[in-house]
């Protein structure tokens, strides 16, 4: 048994999901003729109470399309220092949009309305035009922390007051929704655009959606084509996405429970210095200084457990759909006996 805790992207489609995929009726989505893609887009639109949605191959693409549509070259994008849009998208903010980022030191990945207010440039010719705010919920690099609904509402307010657009990198928004218990429609109200991933905790093999108003999605559809993301018989993938939204949201609570249990075990181990607070399905912990993280990861690998280093002494575990209670017990056993 291989236990893969590197990411929640490692899941394989279940039998039910595969059945849905293989029985999909498909068409050419560049012509707008794939019934499953259209149904998935409509489902996501309604879920968040917006006007339209766009199916894309990855969350990097949905984020980058959003940034492209919301900004002009030379603009400034405000985001947390740990943000995926800044750290893990290949420099896309500048590469694709000719914009730059101003990084904000948030509270474990979460920036506040006051911080946004303080970071907006006045309108002098020589200053960069602040135009977009990107939030990440849950925050990945920061350990799966999530925003409260009130925090998101305050951020929306400060953006509207200052004529900024606000985008949500919601690669793991369903983890936040399940844990915090806020309705998706209320989340939708807080943002001009939302990116969601089907290929993370929801267990689909491929796919993300960009959600917003009609005019925004019309522009996004053009940019998707330019970025090479126009897909043809994408309904096989969209069928997996529909299955994921229908079946795999509520069960994320199990992933959170297992993550918290695993964190409690990690707390009890002498060779672990600290564990970041676990709010959803991501566990980041720091090994004691005397432990070499590469050796530690190799020892886990020798015992069929895959994990990734997260800088310096930090290791990340992510729980997911294919991580069972038996696997949890096995990981705990290995950790208690590793030396
Ligand atoms: C995974 C992830 C994305 C998108 O990643 P892709 O691999 O391109 O789908 C975006 N934002 C966050 C926070 C992520 O964790």
Domains detected in the chain:
15-247 (3.40.640.10), 251-337 (3.90.1150.10)
Q: What angle do CA 232, 234, 235 make, to 5 degrees?
A: 130
Q: Is 87 in the pocket of ligand 1 (CB under 6 A)?
A: no
CA of 59 to the centre of ligand 1 (A): 5
CA of 171 to the centre of ligand 1 (A): 6
CB distance 55 to 244 below 8 Å: no
- Three-class secondary structure of residue 205 per DSSP: coil
Which residues have a Cβ under 8 Å from the Cβ of 316 and sit 6 or more positions away? 5, 6, 282, 283, 284, 307, 308, 309, 310
Q: Which tokens is 40 given?
A: 């998935």
Q: Which residues face 90 on adjacent strands?
A: none
CA of 279 to the centre of ligand 1 (A): 18
Q: For ligand 1, what atom is nearest to the CA of residue 63?
A: 10
Measured in degrees and rounded to the nearest 5, phi and psi for residue 124 equal -85, 150
Residue with CA at minimum distance from ligand 1 atom 14: 171
CA of 72 to the centre of ligand 1 (A): 23
Measured in degrees and rounded to the nearest 5, phi and psi for residue 139 equal -85, 120
Mutate to test the pocket of ligand 1, among 143, 176, 197 (most ligand atoms within 8 A of CB): 197
CA of 58 to the centre of ligand 1 (A): 7
Helix pair angle (235-247, 35-47), 10° resolution: 30
- Three-class secondary structure of residue 121 per DSSP: coil
Radius of gyration from C-alpha coordinates of the chain: 20
CA of 60 to the centre of ligand 1 (A): 6
CA of 328 to the centre of ligand 1 (A): 25
Query: What is the C-alpha separation between 32 and 17, in angstroms, rounded?
Result: 23
Q: How many CB atoms lie within 10 A of CB 200?
A: 27
Measured in degrees and rounded to the nearest 5, phi and psi for residue 213 equal -85, 170
- What does the pLDDT read at residue 339? 73
The pTM (predicted TM-score) of the whole model is 0.97
Residue with CA at minimum distance from ligand 1 atom 6: 59
Q: Is 169 in the pocket of ligand 1 (CB under 6 A)?
A: yes
Mutate to test the pocket of ligand 1, among 93, 169, 227, 228 (most ligand atoms within 8 A of CB): 169
CA of 338 to the centre of ligand 1 (A): 32
Q: Is 136 in the pocket of ligand 1 (CB under 6 A)?
A: yes
CB distance 35 to 235 below 8 Å: yes
Query: What is the C-alpha separation between 164 and 155, in angstroms, rounded?
Result: 10
Q: Which residues face 195 on adjacent strands?
A: 169, 210
- What does the pLDDT read at residue 109? 97
CB distance 71 to 131 below 8 Å: yes
Query: Minimal CA–CA distance to 229: which of 64, 69, 57?
Result: 57
Residue with tokens 């690099």: 141
Quote the DSSP letter at residue 29.
Answer: G
Q: How far apart, in Å, are the Cα atoms of 91 and each of 84, 98, 136? A: 10, 10, 17
Query: What is the C-alpha separation between 52 and 37, in angstroms, rounded?
Result: 12
Mutate to test the pocket of ligand 1, among 171, 175, 196 (most ligand atoms within 8 A of CB): 171
Q: Is 221 in the pocket of ligand 1 (CB under 6 A)?
A: no
pLDDT tens-digit profile, the chain (339 residues): 999 999 999 999 999 999 999 999 999 999 999 999 999 999 999 999 999 999 999 999 999 999 999 999 999 999 999 999 999 999 999 999 999 999 999 999 999 999 999 999 999 999 999 999 999 999 999 999 999 999 999 999 999 999 999 999 999 999 999 999 999 999 999 999 999 999 999 999 999 999 999 999 999 999 999 999 999 999 999 999 999 999 999 999 999 999 999 999 999 999 999 999 999 999 999 999 999 999 999 999 999 999 999 999 999 999 999 999 999 999 999 999 997
Q: Is 84 in the pocket of ligand 1 (CB under 6 A)?
A: yes
Q: How far apart are the first and last CA of the chain?
A: 21
Which residues have a Cβ under 8 Å from the Cβ of 65 and sit 6 or more positions away? 54, 56, 210, 220, 223, 224, 227, 229
Query: What is the C-alpha separation between 2 and 8, in angstroms, rounded?
Result: 14
């Amino acid at each position: 048994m291989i236990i893969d805790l590197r990411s929640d992207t490692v899941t394989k489609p279940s039998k039910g999901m595969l059945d849905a995929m293989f029985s999909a009726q498909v068409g050419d989505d560049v012509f707008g003729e794939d019934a499953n893609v259209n149904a998935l887009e409509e489902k996501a639109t309604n879920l968040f109470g917006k006007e339209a949605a766009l199916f894309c191959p990855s969350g990097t693409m949905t984020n980058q399309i959003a940034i492209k549509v919301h900004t002009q070259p030379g603009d400034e994008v405000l985001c947390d220092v740990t943000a995926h849009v800044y750290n893990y998208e290949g420099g896309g903010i500048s590469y694709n949009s000719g914009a730059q980022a101003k990084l904000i030191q948030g509270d474990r990945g979460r920036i506040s309305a006051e911080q946004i207010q303080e970071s907006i440039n006045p309108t002098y010719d020589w200053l960069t035009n602040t135009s977009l705010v990107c939030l990440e919920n849950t925050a990945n690099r920061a350990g799966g922390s999530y925003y409260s609904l009130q925090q998101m509402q305050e951020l929306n307010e400060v953006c509207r007051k200052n004529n900024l657009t606000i985008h949500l990198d919601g690669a793991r928004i369903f983890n936040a929704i399940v844990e915090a218990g806020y309705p998706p429609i209320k989340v939708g109200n807080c943002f001009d655009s939302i990116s969601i991933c089907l290929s993370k905790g929801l267990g689909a093999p491929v796919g993300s959606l960009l959600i917003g108003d009609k005019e925004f999605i019309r522009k996004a559809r053009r940019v998707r084509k330019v970025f090479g993301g126009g897909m043809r018989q994408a309904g096989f993938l969209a069928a997996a996405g529909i299955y994921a939204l229908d079946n795999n949201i509520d069960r994320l609570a199990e992933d959170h429970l297992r993550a918290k249990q695993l964190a409690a075990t990690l707390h009890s181990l002498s060779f672990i210095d600290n564990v970041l607070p676990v709010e959803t399905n991501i566990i980041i912990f720091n090994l004691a200084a005397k432990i070499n993280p590469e050796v530690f990861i190799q020892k886990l690998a020798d015992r069929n457990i895959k994990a990734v280093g997260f800088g310096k002494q930090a290791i990340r575990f992510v729980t997911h759909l294919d991580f069972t209670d038996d696997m949890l017990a096995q990981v705990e056993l290995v950790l208690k006996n590793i030396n």
